[in-house]
């Protein structure tokens, strides 16, 4: 059973010609009991990915499902509790 599902996650900072794609259509899942490491070079989007999974920042598009529930379907108050 998947405990975490990341589906077509994209995060763009800025607009127009100044836009920077920190994440571009990232998808993966983590099963219960599975151990996962996020690795990559500087500037590859590791921190952005973790911020999106943890509810610190909102994605431009895509979904983060934790135990089947969409993290970003929560209100701002519910997200604050989730982050604690």
Segment 37-79, tens digit of pLDDT: 999 999 999 999 999 999 999 999 999 999 999 999 998 898 8
pLDDT at 31: 96
Q: Which helix (H) or strand (E) holds 14?
A: none
| Local structure of 50: helix, strand or coil | helix
Per-residue confidence band for 82, with pLDDT thresholds at 50, 70 and 90:
confident
Segment 11-24, tens digit of pLDDT: 999 999 999 999 99
Q: Which helix (H) or strand (E) holds 38?
A: none
Domain total of the chain: 1
Residue 45's domain comprises 2-83
Say which CATH number the domain at 56 has.
Answer: 3.40.50.300
């Amino acid at each position: 059973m998947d405990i975490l599902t990341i589906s077509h996650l994209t995060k763009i900072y800025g607009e127009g010609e100044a836009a920077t794609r920190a994440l571009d259509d990232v998808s993966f899942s983590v099963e219960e009991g599975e151990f996962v490491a996020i690795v990559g070079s500087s500037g590859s989007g590791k921190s952005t990915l973790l911020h999106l999974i943890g509810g610190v920042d909102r994605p431009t598009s895509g979904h983060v499902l934790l135990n089947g529930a969409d993290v970003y379907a929560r209100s701002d108050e519910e997200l604050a509790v989730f982050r604690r």
